[in-house]
Structure 1
């Protein structure tokens, strides 16, 4: 890939949720039905690590038993304890511990007792870093943030803490305030494919008719190539009929997320993070109030 910076690979565990109708989960591993030819494929903790060893990423993830946070009952506890058993198999299978950092993944749904057991079990294994998994699956924000706060409070402060599958700007800012360090999500490019741009006030939907004659850039404060060269009206014309529109929005959205990350990081280093959070939230709140006012007036 010629990517000159750090790289992370996932274990395949999330596919237990996204391809649940094609998967059979047992203690041995997860058997997937190939979406290509229908043949069964077994992914074990050992095979997951072996694949990631061959890829050579700087951070590799343990195979965990993932369930949606909206699921309740004994399945949550079963998955959490299986995740702890599988981490030992992943550690044993890891052939490059001095070159690649194996992260364990905290599971336990929205149950604080199960999360506590899983966190403590992983910390006992003294891993290079830790992930908080099984979130951003439909649960309410209060529950989501509560679990993140609980896990970051228990995980070592001197090791990376990674919230998996999280990419909304608001969630990244809040979780960073709670002590998280790493995130991943398809949100910036996925929302671009639906004609939506990320802006400091929240989102801007370029498919709306109001954009058709708007000659302003997506974000007047943004320095990206798209905002320097194209108007909202031009991109509106593209997103309704041409793939180039989603490509331009993807470029802008990734630039927005990179700039947000830089600003967030520098605010922490310069010890002005509380002011950064207040300013970030104030822009969103003011924009939401303005949208509500316009809706009432219309």
Structure 2
């Protein structure tokens, strides 16, 4: 183990794993879902409310924070933890994915990426060295290598060229990261849906040596079946004694399928974004609370859920505030969704530890297939 992070596997069931990542700011129970705090906030939530859902770690976004309020300002104000009032671990992404999504607003070369801000059009430069500098200024506990992530579908030559560039950037990221006790650096596997390219990427990352390993370049338009096909082999190509992080995933059934294939960490904006648009994740599938069928329904959103939205408010109320575009609607539904996701992770951790993960998965899928409760 390194002096930056420790990872201990407590149990496995098939390929599914449960364990603990120990950081200087606390333990992260795995499998772990990381709520996304893009701009130093999980939208609609107080930090203590996010903690109450069961979250051990949050994700912050290098691209957005470097533009506003700037990493330098956050550093002057004591770092990201104090700035956003979150005392647990924080993982920051490298900015590579967001820069990729800018399309025509960016220019890629061997050294890095030049891009225009989506906020005011100002010109910026991101390199592996600058990404490491920004993440050090933010003070995140887990730092991600700077990489290039091509959108899928893409031809094999494009994927191979991108992967090889990302591996060169990974080496530069490791050098620039330096020796930072108490902080961890994760490498990012690329290679699209090509098994041999994924293997090459994994070998290159192993040679450099990282505290954890991410599976990048998925959930970018390839569809669930293709993603699962890739996850049938990609996690196995990474070191067994380090955390495996699947970036940007996803829906509840994506997460369960990823854990079944050996993934330890995930993040996604879906719980909070969906909450703001009236979508609620429940044990019986997705509920659109804005639908007219809920207008006179006195029942809770999910009778088995202990979150404030379910324990204190009716479907009728949630329907009303959501249709009326009241702020509390997004707050309550986001809290519910994040609570549901953390319940999901806790359920999987318990089932893996008990050796009953297959049975747990069967119940999970069967209940979702039932659909929502019948209207009144």
TM > 0.5: yes
Aligned to 2:191: 108
| Residues 110-149 of structure 1 mapped to structure 2, 5 A cutoff | 110-149=193-232
Identify the match of residue 270 of structure 1 among 344, 354, 362: 354
Q: Does 1:84 align with 2:167?
A: yes
The Cα RMSD (Å) is: 1.7
Residues 74 and 80 (structure 1 numbering): CA distance in 2 closer, same or farther, change over 3 Å?
same
Residues 285 and 37 (structure 1 numbering): CA distance in 2 closer, same or farther, change over 3 Å?
closer
Structure ranking higher in strand proportion: 2
Q: Is the 8 A contact 1:16 1:66 kept in 2?
A: no
Q: Does 1:187 align with 2:284?
A: no
Q: Distance in 1 between matches of 2:332 and 2:127?
A: 39
Q: Is the 8 A contact 2:132 2:173 kept in 1?
A: yes
Aligned to 1:75: 158
Q: Does 1:217 align with 2:318?
A: no
Q: Distance in 2 between matches of 1:37 and 1:187?
A: 26
Q: CA deviation at 1:69?
A: 1.9
Q: Distance in 2 between matches of 1:198 and 1:52?
A: 32
Q: Which consecutive residues of structure 1, in runs of 5 or more, have no partner in the other structure?
A: none
Q: Is the 8 A contact 1:167 1:184 kept in 2?
A: yes
**TM-score of the two chains, using structure 2 as the length reference:** 0.74
Aligned to 1:177: 260
Q: Distance in 1 between matches of 2:89 and 2:323?
A: 36
Q: Is the 8 A contact 2:232 2:261 kept in 1?
A: yes
Q: Does 1:259 align with 2:343?
A: yes
Identify the match of residue 137 of structure 2 among 44, 54, 59: 54
**TM-score of the two chains, using structure 1 as the length reference:** 0.93
4+ long deviations beyond 6 Å: none
Structure ranking higher in helix proportion: 1
Q: How many residues align?
A: 291
Q: Higher relative contact order at CA 8 Å, sep ≥6: structure 1 or structure 2?
A: 2
Aligned to 1:206: 289
Q: Is the 8 A contact 2:100 2:148 kept in 1?
A: no
Aligned to 2:364: 280
Q: Distance in 1 between matches of 2:342 and 2:243?
A: 19
Q: Which consecutive residues of structure 2, in runs of 5 or more, have no partner in the other structure?
A: 1-83
